[in-house]
Structure 1
Amino acid sequence: MKRIGIGLSDFKELIEENYYYFDKTKFIDEIVKDGAKVKLFARPRRFGKTLNMSMLKYFFDIKEAEENRKLFKGLYIEKTESFKEQGQYPVVFLSLKDLKATNWEIMQEKIVVTLSDFFSEYYYLLKELNENDADKFKKVLREEANLSNLGTTLKFLTKILYEKYNKKVVILVDEYDSPLVSAYINGYYNKAKDFFKTFYSTVLKDNNYLQMGILTGIIRVIKAGIFSDLNNLRTYTILSDVYTDSYGLTEEEVEKSLKDYGIGAEILKVKDWYDGYKFGDSEVYNPWSILNFLQDKELRAYWVDTSGNDLINDVLRKITKDTIRALERLFDGEGLRQNISGTSDLSKLLDENELWELLLFSGYLTIEEKIDQKNYILRLPNKEVKELFKDSFLEKYFGRGNKLSYLMEALIENRIDEYEEKLQEMLLTSVSYNDTKKGNEAFYHGLIMGMGLYLEGEYITKSNIESGLGRYDFLIEPKNKSKRAFIMEFKSTDSVEKLEEISKEALKQIEDKKYDVSLKQNGIKEITHIGIAFYGKQIKISYK
């Protein structure tokens, strides 16, 4: 039985070492037939972008062409007309996945080092260069080139490769957006944008040495001006109707792999956990998770990568009341109608109106239905993403460790005084003041949703639903009707002195509005009414 190459993204190693491989070489055939000079593929992380780029490198590269030809023996591409393109071009393959920094000064240093290391791979060209070009090359190697000169280094590399082989050059840039996302998160986006606009446009536009350019990333940084000068760029996102099965795994591929490893009977469970992504008209599975499942044979969330979740964590830090209500609907399995243009500016992606697009392109949401050219129904793709999102959300609101479990145990065991004590402690230690300032209902709604997510399974939780003579804030109904139910009403106040008074008002509202009617109709006999008043980080609970 073949080994599973977890995290292995070098195509040559994968083939030569006889690892299990899902044949994606049809992608090469499609690339060859695609007339676009420059192509950008936007897909979520861990969906095979780097492996596909590595495959393209070994296919097109004129260097060691005969040796690389053997890698494609028996694969789809070998039987196509496009196979004649194998080994025909010099290739420049640059990965920017690790180009991240907390400020622009460090980013500049990393750019210098990254390009120096990269140029060392082409050291063999140095002896054939004229004096002027050799001097340029050595400056990059020695980390002596200034940033303005480094902006044109890729074009310079295509020039000297063309002169060496008398063939135009294929440019492959993997995770082109990694430094831009890092720059946005850390507050120096405009400076980074100016450099990378030059870096990309000089090599990809009006470059007589360019055969083809291919870039991959997670998002399409288009309005930001990075590619504003490129009129030869075609972008293929998860909304596109072509290249739909080039990234991710089809059901046919997954079923075959499960059978190959003797676990074909698990297909329905695997589908529930890892399927559900819609790329164009294809439904695909997360390949990272499938490979891990084939290895471990355990159903759990594998798609966890702290560094890859930076943008999502930023979203959760800026969450609003409306966002939380939308997330509640998603967690309940409902769809969410959103306008998705596919052309968002990275600098606006973390605005509330744009975050759904970010979540979609990052793989946290998928398309359930296309309404028209810009409007879609979005949903959580599968159980794995729901678990990941749930964990990220709970950690953001309640911190790491057992704080939430202790809090909720006190509640469901009806130890309300202890619940109040632990909730107060949590507010003081886990939540920033901005989250709890007067009028910021988002925090209270986040608290509600967090409790609901924690209780999922044994309890049904509902918020802002009509019952009796009004709408309650939060209701916890046990699936086992012999257990206790809880109704909560939240109110904020403008002074600490009013906390007790307002909490009693909240409690009285539950009684006056008869919010417990629906619970009683469902046969629940034990019901606790809880009124919670907030002032900043201080609370008071009244209950009955």
Structure 2
Amino acid sequence: MIKKAMESSDEAFNRGYEELIQTRKLETLVRMETSFFEMNSTSSLWGLLVNAGYLTISKIISNQEGLYVIKVPNQEVQQEFQKLTAHYLKVAGTDLFTMFSALKRRKKEDFKDKYQRILLTLPSYHDLKDENSYHMMLLGMCAWLCHDYKIISNREAGKGRCYIILKARKENQVSYILEFKYAKDSNTDLKELAKTAVEQIKDRKYDTEISGKIIYIGLAHYQKNIEIEWQEK
């Protein structure tokens, strides 16, 4: 029922879901007394997720208005939330698990192969039309990492805005900075474009607020074809 409801969600819900993935909490209107299928709205969909136990209310801002802060309650539910996010993105949960396992184990080629496979299984490439569309797709997938990493997206860092920073929550973990590039021409050298993405990370000092070991990842795309540049600091 929840999956069916998410499939008919609007852009307001999508923006809120992406914020929830990044910050692990969201301030939003929640209608818990009305079925989503009686009143198809973003607030009643959040209510459905709260009533089902996927999310919990952590702060009441206004009971009268139905304005609350909601969050994923615990690690056990986080695993179910990950599966829900995979469905939301139309990606197999096993593929996401394998891809991010490769990332955390620093297996560059395995990460690239799984990311490529995921792109090939997605709907039409016309939905992936620029750098931001790839960015938002991978950002959604990063819900799988929010227990181990602070997910930072499109925030001022150094001399610009970086697409995705995965800042390790533990000192002995590696942090990651990902920059996206998109080619409109099939003749573009994607390997060089991926290197350009990494140079941008370094030139604009996106790692200013991160200590410890960092891996810079440049992802260059043309439709569903990719190349990756992977450099360790």
TM-score of Structure 1 vs Structure 2, range by shorter chain: 0.7 to 0.9
Is 1:312 the counterpart of 2:5? The answer is yes
Q: In the alignment, which of 27, 43, 51 is matched to residue 336 of structure 1?
A: 27
For residues 506 and 379 of structure 1, the distance between their equivalents in structure 2, rounded to whole angstroms, comes to 35
Could you tell me which residue of structure 2 aligns to residue 505 of structure 1?
A: 196
Paired with 2:28 and 2:208, the residues of 1 have a C-alpha distance of 32
* More strand, by proportion: 2
The partner residue of 1:433 within 116, 120, 124 is 124
Report the CA distance between 1:488 and its aligned residue.
0.5
Q: TM-score, normalised by structure 1?
A: 0.36
Q: Spell out the pairing of 1:411-490 with structure 2 (5 A cutoff).
A: 411-429=103-121, 431-433=122-124, 436-439=127-130, 441-451=132-142, 453-490=143-180
Is 1:322 the equivalent of 2:9? no
Q: Note the 1:259-338 alignment, pairs <5 A.
A: 308-315=1-8, 322-329=15-22, 332-338=23-29
- 1:529 to partner: Cα distance: 1.0
Q: 1:189-211: CA deviations, max 9, x gaps?
A: xxxxxxxxxxxxxxxxxxxxxxx
Instruction: Decide whether the 8 Å contact of 1:460 with 1:479 is kept in 2.
Output: yes
How far is the alpha carbon of 1:311 from its aligned partner?
2.9
Larger Rg, first or second structure (1 or 2): 1
Give, in whole Å, the separation in 2 of the partners of 1:322 and 1:437: 17
Corresponding residue of 2:230: 543
Match of residue 185 from structure 2: 495
Instruction: Provide structure 1 residue ranges, at least 5 long, that are not aligned to the other structure.
Output: 1-307
Per-residue deviation at 1:422?
Answer: 1.8
Report 1:94-493 matches (<5 A): 308-315=1-8, 322-329=15-22, 332-338=23-29, 349=40, 354-361=41-48, 363=51, 364-365=54-55, 367=57, 368-371=59-62, 373-374=64-65, 376-380=67-71, 382-383=73-74, 385-397=77-89, 399-400=91-92, 402-429=94-121, 431-433=122-124, 436-439=127-130, 441-451=132-142, 453-493=143-183
- Asked whether the equivalents of residues 370 and 377 of structure 1 are also in contact (C-alpha less than 8 Å), the reply is yes
Deviation at 1:443, TM superposition (A): 5.0
Q: What's the secondary structure of 2:180's corresponding residue? A: strand
Describe the superposition over 1:359-381 as per-residue Cα deviations: whole angstroms up to 9, x where unpaired.
Answer: 21452555532437435124136
List per-residue Cα deviations over 1:273-292 (Å, max 9, x = no partner): xxxxxxxxxxxxxxxxxxxx
Superposed CA RMSD in Å reads: 3.5
Could you tell me how far 1:393 is from its partner in structure 2? 0.6
1:517 is aligned to 2:208: yes
Is contact 2:129–2:223 with CA below 8 Å preserved after alignment?
yes
Q: What is the deviation of 1:532?
A: 1.0
Q: Describe the superposition over 1:137-159 as per-residue Cα deviations: whole angstroms up to 9, x where unpaired.
A: xxxxxxxxxxxxxxxxxxxxxxx
Equivalent position SS for 2:89: helix
Residues 257-284 of structure 1, C-alpha deviation per residue, up to 9 Å, x if partnerless?
Answer: xxxxxxxxxxxxxxxxxxxxxxxxxxxx
Q: Cα offset for 1:480? A: 4.1
Between the aligned partners of 1:529 and 1:428, the Cα distance in structure 2 is 24
Question: In the alignment, is the contact (CA less than 8 A) between 2:125 and 2:224 conserved in 1?
Answer: no
Q: CA deviation at 1:323?
A: 3.9
Structure 1, residues 317-354: CA drift from partner, whole Å, max 9, x if none? 9798624433325xx343313386978995872xxxx3
Q: Is the 8 A contact 2:21 2:146 kept in 1?
A: no
Highest RCO, 1 vs 2 (Cα 8 Å, sep ≥ 6): 2
Q: Work out the CA distance in 1 between the residues paired with 2:124 and 2:94.
A: 22
CA separation of 1:310 and 1:486: change in aligned 2, threshold 3 A = closer
| Separation in structure 2 between the aligned mates of residue 536 and residue 359 of structure 1, nearest angstrom | 33
Partners of 1:316 and 1:396 within 8 A in 2: no
* Residue 510 of structure 1: how far off its partner (Å): 0.2
Distance 1:320 1:420, change over 3 A: farther
Letter matched to residue 229 of structure 2: S
**Given the superposition, is the C-alpha separation of residues 347 and 493 from structure 1 closer, same or farther in structure 2, using an over 3 Å criterion?**
farther
Counterpart Cα distance in 1 of 2:94 and 2:146 = 17
Q: Hey, what does 1:80 align to over in structure 2? A: none
Deviates more, 1:461-470 or 1:368-377: 368-377
Given the superposition, is the C-alpha separation of residues 372 and 418 from structure 1 closer, same or farther in structure 2, using an over 3 Å criterion?
closer
Residue 396 of structure 1 and its aligned partner are, at CA, apart by 4.0
What are the superposed Cα offsets for residues 419-478 of structure 1, whole Å, 9 maximum, x if unpaired? 22221112112x112674204835532322323x32344433332233221222212233
Distance apart, 1:534 and its partner CA: 2.4
**Cα pair 1:504 1:542 within 8 Å, conserved:** yes
The number of aligned residues is: 225
Per the normalisation by structure 2, the TM-score is 0.76
Deviations 1:87-130 (A, max 9, x none): xxxxxxxxxxxxxxxxxxxxxxxxxxxxxxxxxxxxxxxxxxxx
Aligned residue for 1:543, secondary structure, equals: strand
Distance 1:378 1:454, change over 3 A: same
